[in-house]
Each structure stands twice: as C-alpha cells, then as structure tokens.
Amino acid sequence: MQAADEHHSGGRFPGWHGTTIVAVKKGGKVAVAGDGQVSLGQTVIKGNAKKVRRIAPGGNDVVCGFAGATADAFTLLERLEAKLEAAPGQLMRACVELAKDWRTDKYLRNLEAMLIVTDGDALLVVTGAGDVLEPEGGVAAIGSGGNYALAAARAMADQEALDAETVARRAMEIAAEICVYTNGNMITEVIGPGVVGG
C-alpha cells in the first residue's frame, strides 16, 4: 500500500510529513495504532498528536486512523460521521459515499489525507482517489512509515500467541525505529466483541 505522504512530494505541502497508522484484524477484534509525530521538513512540530479516534454515530462504534494533513483528516472524519448517521451500521456504504464525494467535490478533492476505518467487522482504507479498499490478510497501514508497519504486522499476524493489539503495537514500534517521521508516542484503539469503548 502506498504511503500517504508520497503524493505530497509534488503537491502544495512538499515538506509536510504525517504519521504512521496500522490496523490488525485478528481473533474477532481489530486494533488500530498510530504514532503522535507531526513533522515539517526535518523539524518535529508536535510529538503527541492523536490520530486514532473512536467515533460513535448512532451508537455504532467506529475507529478511524488518519495520515496526512490533520485539518484535512478532521474534515473527512466529520463527513464520515454524517454519512454514518445517515446509514447507521453500514460502514462500507458510508465509506463508499465519502470516497465518491472526496473524488468529485471541488473542495474535498484538494484534501490530502488517508483513512483507515473499522467497525470491528469491516476493515477499510479510504483514499482521495475514490478508493475503498479491504486489505488482504486483515492488515492495513498508511502514512510515512506505513510500509514498515505493514511488513512487520504481516510477519507477526499468523503467530497464535499474539492478539491484534500486540501485533499492531509491535508493528508500530518497529516502524518508529526505522521511519524518522514516526515516533513511539502511540495511541491504540481496539474494537470488537467484549471490548468496552474508550
């Protein structure tokens, strides 16, 4: 999966680097982990940004992780919440509607971010190109260190002793050791049967 910040290299924000988000679906649960670093060029602007969030329109928990421009991502999260309120419990439909708007709306088209979204059942990556992707093997990652986290999570996902949260956290730790735009200030949300929302 392409790292979210690669398309920034020729864009309006050439020096802006986002984050790393990884999601792992295993054992009936989904864990989404993200780091807290925001960088501008070679400078760390913020080290504890919260880029993994739980939203619950209509009482149906959904966990979202985002990479890219923070303000853009919040705009997309608000739109996603509105779509979920209009179609409660239908995450795929809401994400497809969001992706359609994102691709065709003149204002939204300029937003530079990517989302990982899950309701504990579906695990989806939503992009500004109009894509709603279901990752293979129940592992998805986006952002500057996304490829490192993806490789690490895939390598660990089939180990029976490791649950979804452990795999996601370890994959983030590995990405933080390799990617200079990823730090160890981690936020993790787990969703699925028996998990109490945070």
pLDDT at 41 over 80: no
**pLDDT recorded at residue 51:** 84
Give the model confidence (pLDDT) of 57-67 as tens digits: 666 799 999 98
For the chain, where are the E strands, in sequence order? 16-17, 20-26, 29-34, 38-40, 43-46, 52-55, 62-68, 113-118, 123-126, 132-133, 139-143, 187-191
36-40, 150-154, 173-177, 191-195: which has the highest mean pLDDT?
A: 150-154
Under CATH, what is the fold of the domain 4-185? Glutamine Phosphoribosylpyrophosphate, subunit 1, domain 1 (3.60.20)
Q: How far apart are CA 60 and CA 85, in angstroms?
A: 9
Whether 20 sits among the annotated catalytic residues: the reply is no
Domain boundaries, the chain: 4-185
**pLDDT recorded at residue 46:** 65
**pLDDT recorded at residue 58:** 61
Give the model confidence (pLDDT) of 122-157 as tens digits: 999 998 788 999 998 999 999 889 999 999 999 999
Banded model confidence at residue 52, pLDDT cuts 50, 70, 90: very high
